[in-house]
Amino acid sequence: MKKLLCLVVAVMLLFSFVLVGCGTKAPTTTQEPAKTAEVTTAPEATTAPAAEATAKTLVLKDSPYFQGKGLPAVADRMPKEPKLTNEMPANELKYVNGTYGGTLRTVRVPGNWEPVVFIGCNEPLVNSPGYVGDTVTPNIVKSFEVSTDQKEFTFTLRDGMKWSDGQLLTTDDVAFAVNDVLFNKELTPTFPAWLSAAGIQGNTPLKLTVVDKLTFKISFDKPYGGFLLQLAIEGWRGYTDLIKPAHFDKKYHKTYADPAALEKLILDNKFKTGEWVNLFNKMDCTNWENVNPEAIGFPQLTPWILTKTGDIEIFERNPYYFKIDSDGNQLPYIDTIQSTTVQDLEMVTMKIIAGEVDHSYEYATTMKLALYKENEAKAGIKILTNTTLHRTATDLFINQTYNDPTWQKVSQDVRFRQALNLALDKKDIVDTVYNGYAKPGTINGGTFDLAAANKLLDDMGMKKGADGIRTAPDGKKFTVHFTYAPHMSDFQPMAQLVTEQWKLLGLDVQLKQIDTALWGTRTAANELEVTMIWTSGPIMWTWADWGCQFWSTNWFANYTSNGKTGIAPPADVLNFYKMIDSLRSSSFEAAKTVATNLRADMAKNMWYIVSTEDVIQPVVINAKLQNFDDAGFAIANNFGAEQWWFKK
């Protein structure tokens, strides 16, 4: 069940990307690349509140929260060179060193998913301040080096860094994660594409070389220019694919565990004899699962760790967390997070205006801005309206591989997709759904033109009957089944408005809402004709997320499985897939050309419909919450949750 939830969340959120937003410069380190075959070192971030080099000389300070809890001194709990936090660039946040204490109150809807804590606890090996990708800096690792041929990446861990249970972090944890989990075919039947050469499924997997207890190398047999950004940004992966607490996980791994003890654990956890893989997957927690009940007691490197589950989840500060501010204060500032499950999105709004929520990003919406503002003073909240989405908001996907011959014939005709795009009054969508806090989508080209849309369907032979409803080209009844889940509060009004606009074409459009878990299951099973979700590729131009799993489900499954499942895609679709893949291996200049070609191909073939662009993402926070600014990508602030503090 845990892995099913992970799949659903991945479908909702893991729309992977590679580099950076359009118009930014190439990822940089703090010195020029080497001109020879030698490697260049990327020192600690220069965008931190103070130069990282000073971290080793600061006097470390502890939170009063840990007094009397029998812990070692703070200097003995942290690495010799802690990380100076730098999650937001200086041009987006004027960082102020804070004070300790307080509980951050968040809310979540049913489904066992806590978006604020998940992002706030996501720690990659390297990071990119502001989440834009123009600079890559060390995070969990103290330093990294990249060979000039972009094939070899050398990482050095922080000496003395510890897991949340106090055990040392070493390259033993890297070797275990790679050799005993990634390269174990029982645990990892399909090797991850992003850890293969150039990030392409079926290419040669990475090679791990452990140099010593702190240094390791990852190498590929082909250039992989986008690998650092894969680590820093793409997919919210965190560190858990490449680093696992070996001292904990080995108890559940058949290579290391005593057979009798392992079998007892298998049976005690209600698995069948010999099902050690199921046991391991339950006991090991990826970064996607750090908010799940199974995360209790699992060693982590995150600022907070889950200690209580139920309708109210409690996350407590990690005494061994590795980041500090420029005064030497161990982060995070906030001691605990309290996440409360509420009935639905409307109840989230009620709690926000009642002053019972200190942060809401995923569930805040432009449709409620007037209501938030009306209650701002009474609720003690502040509404941010300049932060933008790092992704699109509500893209429309016509699944060309849905298992119905008539549907496939119609949906694979580009004129059908063009007609649906032309029939969208995107200005109306911006005004009605987003209260003007967005711009009409332009990537697909074409303005609102109902006459042109009708002509395209006429030319396809989709004639209108006496009732005004169009048939399929073969004269049979034709229905568009539009199925969506309420992932965000804008989904329902968007779906209703789109349905009414498409009906003006004479199409029989049947709209249905299902819950998010069922949506994930049905999406993966190729059971949806038309649906709605978001993507990141159109916004972050080198982000390799163009929704292929939604508009070409069976074709994409075939491509990503090297032909083992699904149906072989046609040549034009295959070309689009390969262009996306080439973003990872390309040089920065070449990648810009690829991105231009992707956009042109998108406009030509209308693979899916981007309804809006430059969507404002309102964020509601407690008015006393500090180190949170109204700039950049809204989600970027969440990555720096350890930096937040409450002004007394």
pLDDT of 50-65, one tens digit each? Answer: 445 556 678 999 999 9
- The residues that bridge with 388 in the sheet, in sequence order, are 616, 633
Prior bond of 486 cis (ω within 30°): no
Specify whether 227 is located in the same domain as 330. yes
Specify whether 512 is located in the same domain as 566. yes
Predicted confidence at residue 365, as pLDDT, reads: 80
Given phi > 0 = left and psi -120 to 50 = alpha, else beta, which region is 212? beta
Specify whether 503 is located in the same domain as 560. yes
Query: Is 18 part of any domain?
Result: no
Q: How far, in Å, CA of 637 to CA of 581, rounded? A: 29
Q: What is the mean pLDDT of residues 605-626?
A: 92
- List the end-to-end C-alpha distance of the chain, in Å, as a whole number: 42
Specify whether 292 is located in the same domain as 412. no
The rounded Cα 564 to chain-centroid distance in angstroms is 27
Residue scoring higher pLDDT (27 or 194): 194
Q: Which domain holds residue 489?
A: 395-613
Residue 1: which residues within 8 A CB-CB, separation 6 or more?
none
pLDDT over threshold 70, residue 203 = yes
Task: Indicate the Cα dihedral angle 157, 162, 163, 167, nearest 10°.
Answer: 120
Average pLDDT, the chain: 87
Q: Based on the structure, what is the number of domains in the chain?
A: 2
Query: Is 251 part of any domain?
Result: no
CATH assignment at residue 316? 3.40.190.10
Residue 255: which residues within 8 A CB-CB, separation 6 or more?
180
Specify whether 438 is located in the same domain as 374. no
Query: Is 240 part of any domain?
Result: yes
Predicted confidence at residue 368, as pLDDT, reads: 87
Query: Is 30 part of any domain?
Result: no
Query: Is 15 part of any domain?
Result: no
pLDDT over threshold 80, residue 603 = yes
Specify whether 406 is located in the same domain as 376. no
Query: Is 232 part of any domain?
Result: yes
- Strand 609-610 with 395-398, pairing: antiparallel
Predicted confidence at residue 181, as pLDDT, reads: 98
- Residue 56's nearest CA partner among 24, 81, 89 is 81
Query: Is 22 part of any domain?
Result: no
- Angle (CA) 460-461-464 rounded to 5° is 120
Predicted confidence at residue 542, as pLDDT, reads: 58
Q: pLDDT tens, 329-348? A: 999 999 999 999 998 888 98
Predicted confidence at residue 198, as pLDDT, reads: 86
Q: Tell me how far apart the 2 most distant CA atoms of the chain are, in Å.
A: 82
Specify whether 625 is located in the same domain as 608. no
Query: Is 21 part of any domain?
Result: no
Predicted confidence at residue 112, as pLDDT, reads: 59
Q: What is the mean pLDDT of residues 90-99?
A: 91
Specify whether 446 is located in the same domain as 585. yes
Task: Indicate the Cα dihedral angle 101, 325, 25, 600, nearest 10°.
Answer: -20
Specify whether 291 is located in the same domain as 343. yes
pLDDT over threshold 60, residue 616 = yes
Please check whether residue 190 is in contact with residue 183, taking contact to mean a CB–CB distance below 8 angstroms: no
Predicted confidence at residue 111, as pLDDT, reads: 67
The rounded Cα 600 to chain-centroid distance in angstroms is 26
Residue scoring higher pLDDT (75 or 541): 75
Q: pLDDT tens, 494-512? A: 999 999 999 999 999 999 9
Predicted TM-score (pTM) of the model is 0.77
Please check whether residue 557 is in contact with residue 566, taking contact to mean a CB–CB distance below 8 angstroms: yes
Q: pLDDT tens, 516-547? A: 889 999 999 999 999 999 988 777 765 778 99
Specify whether 64 is located in the same domain as 170. yes
Q: pLDDT tens, 384-434? A: 888 877 778 889 999 999 999 999 999 999 999 999 999 999 999 999 998
**pLDDT-based confidence at 44, cuts 50/70/90?**
very low
Q: How far, in Å, CA of 590 to CA of 472, rounded? A: 43
Specify whether 482 is located in the same domain as 554. yes
Residue scoring higher pLDDT (232 or 624): 624
CATH assignment at residue 432? 3.10.105.10
**pLDDT-based confidence at 40, cuts 50/70/90?**
very low
Specify whether 314 is located in the same domain as 184. yes
Q: How far, in Å, CA of 496 to CA of 348, rounded? A: 22
Predicted confidence at residue 36, as pLDDT, reads: 25
- Written as one letter, the residue type at 5 is L
Q: How far, in Å, CA of 85 to CA of 8, rounded? A: 31
